[in-house]
Amino acid sequence: MKNCMIAQSGGPTAVINASVTGVFEGNLKLKYFDNVYCGLNGIEGILDNRIINLTETDYKNIKNFKYTPSSGIGSCRYRLKDFNNSEEDYLKLFKIFKKLNIDTFFYVGGNDSMDTVKKLSDYSIKIDSQIKFIGIPKTIDNDLLMTDHTPGFGSAAKLIATTVLETYLDFSVYLNNGIFILETMGRDTGWLGASAILAKLDGKPVVDFIYLPEMYFSIEQFLEKVKEKYKEQKKVYIVVSEGIKNEEGKFIAENEVVSHDNFEHKQLGGVGNLLRKIIIDFGITKRVKVLELGVIQRCAMHCASLTDIREAYNAGAYALNLAREGQNGVMVTFKRISNNPYKCLMESTNVELVANRIRYFPQEWIVEEGNHVDKGALDYFIPLIKGIPQLDYKNGLPIYTKLI
């Protein structure tokens, strides 16, 4: 008997469950594995024997799972130690895998999850195990190397651009509208913030300034630009990534950091309100509104991209082919062939080239003054947000399914 297991790790996305469904439904067609197990709450849950057999689940119970946002089988932020220093977790995991006749383990996640895939695949080689470990990419941050983009990002970008467009219309109804600041996620990279360039009216971007972590942020220059723009049009719309930094490389909202995750990443938030205070103190205007989007960026299926859902699903199905080929220690990747018409192929790469590394927003797409992005970014974003999923509804609300 040959079985596989799939689990999710890190922050959720609107389309992460589509990848699980891609593995499950793909196996229904290929019949390569006898059973598809799910590790609930990632590696952390598996270590606690929180495992279900998806193959034994009534299929009608997971009908809407593909279109359910967030991690429907749970997630975790559990960091495996280096097995050269401690083998305890590895011994326990491989004992569980052996008991369930696991041939391949699929892990859906981002940078830190690929670190887990790398460690487990390296350990399997060390102990001469035949178990294969394959990464399926997901992250709204879009910051994985070796792939054109990551499932989850397109839907987050669509939500951000739609929110920008709608809040701009709400914000700009008066003669004197003040200043609106929208804060996006993006601790290290500005992909999410930059996607605000998609929001247009009459062919023109509605956002006046976009500030990303890839460019140093000068409070003095910021205030002068905002003052000048406000004087010119009596309204200013600003989008800012939570992770913007000063010339010393310190987060502008450094004092707002209240915690770290298990990978020692600072949990940011609050830069929008900080800039609001700075603007008011500088005397530009007291009419300053702030919207911190927060977790809605990663769980808004009602505003998801159909392209994103399809690619997340296909990544899961493609991972099955990698397993059939006997590949180990790899991650599914996307290779863009063209923007218009949009064409993208799936390939794979050594997970070592992805784990614990960051793919930054291209500086060539940032304008010289560092406060907006150009057409290159727009052309890149547009194909990723297209299409609308057809959700099932009951009493006016979408029907969602969790397996945990």
CATH number of the domain at 191, please: 3.40.50.460
Tens digit of each residue's pLDDT (9 = 90 or more) over 87-113:
999 999 999 999 999 999 999 999 999
User: How many angstroms separate the CA atoms of 223 and 282, rounded?
Assistant: 8
Is 378 inside a domain boundary?
no
Instruction: Assess whether 294 and 307 both reside in one domain.
Output: no
List, by residue number, the catalytic residues: 141
45, 72, 328, 352 from 6: Cα distances, Å: 12, 12, 15, 20
Q: What is the pLDDT of residue 257?
A: 46
Residue 84 tokens read as 């050269």
Instruction: Assess whether 110 and 134 both reside in one domain.
Output: yes
In the numeric block, the tokens 């220690």 are attached to 329
Tell how strand 200-201 and strand 3-8 pair up: unpaired
Q: What is the pLDDT of residue 321?
A: 96
pLDDT confidence band for 404 (50 / 70 / 90): confident
Q: Which of 277, 298, 319 is a domain's end point? A: 298
Tens digit of each residue's pLDDT (9 = 90 or more) over 131-174:
999 999 999 999 999 999 999 999 999 999 999 999 999 999 99
Poorest-pLDDT segment among 48-52, 57-61, 189-193, 325-329 = 57-61
Reference 355, options 318, 328, 329, 325; nearest CA is 329
Instruction: Assess whether 282 and 308 both reside in one domain.
Output: no
Does the structure show a pLDDT above 70 at 244?
A: yes
Domain that holds residue 188: 153-298
Across all residues in the chain, what is the average pLDDT? 95
Provide the domain count of the chain. Answer: 2
Is 373 inside a domain boundary?
no
Instruction: Assess whether 158 and 242 both reside in one domain.
Output: yes
In the numeric block, the tokens 């890149």 are attached to 380
Reference 349, options 98, 52, 147, 126; nearest CA is 147
Q: What is the pLDDT of residue 255?
A: 63
Tens digit of each residue's pLDDT (9 = 90 or more) over 78-93:
999 999 999 999 999 9
Does the structure show a pLDDT above 90 at 374?
A: yes
Q: Let me know: does 66 contact 400? Beta carbons within 8 Å.
A: no
Residues 6+ apart with CB under 8 A from 170: none
> What is the Cα 341 distance to its own chain's centre?
24
Tens digit of each residue's pLDDT (9 = 90 or more) over 221-239:
999 999 999 999 999 999 9
- C-beta neighbour count of 335 within 10 angstroms: 13
SS3 176: coil
User: How many angstroms separate the CA atoms of 15 and 239, rounded?
Assistant: 24
